[in-house]
Homo-oligomer: A and B are copies of this chain.
Amino acid sequence: MENIEIFKALSNKSRLQMLEWLKEPEINFPDQLQHAGFEHGVCVGQIQAKAGLTQSTVSEYLSILQRAGFIEAKRVGQWTYYKRNEGAFEALSKLIQSNL
């Protein structure tokens, strides 16, 4: 089982918070609207500002969440936009019911 990376990704308060924020981007990242809208997600800088962590830490955390499948990245120009992949949450919920 390599689900371990999934659970590790969820074993951190800041990362859990980012996932929660990304459920409602319009509410949690209002500045993103001026920026580029929400079609592709929210860019790293917005998340960093809200998380109160350094840029490098936020970048790495987003990458951990992405590798675990919870978010998707889309590069547009100099920005990387992240948004939730709801399917991953569904899949995890089912996996816990049937495989754990």
A interface, CB within 8 angstroms of B: 1, 3-4, 7-8, 10-13, 16, 19-20, 89-90, 92-94, 96-97, 100
Report A42 CB to chain B, min CB distance, Å.
Answer: 17
A1 contacts which chain B residues (CB < 8 A)? 13, 16
10 other contacts beyond A7-B10, A7-B11, A89-B97, with CB at 8 A cut-off?
A: A1-B13, A1-B16, A4-B10, A4-B11, A4-B12, A7-B7, A8-B11, A11-B11, A92-B96, A93-B96
Docked pose: A60 CA to B3 CA in angstroms:
22
A19 contacts which chain B residues (CB < 8 A)? 100
A10 to chain B: closest residue by CB: B7
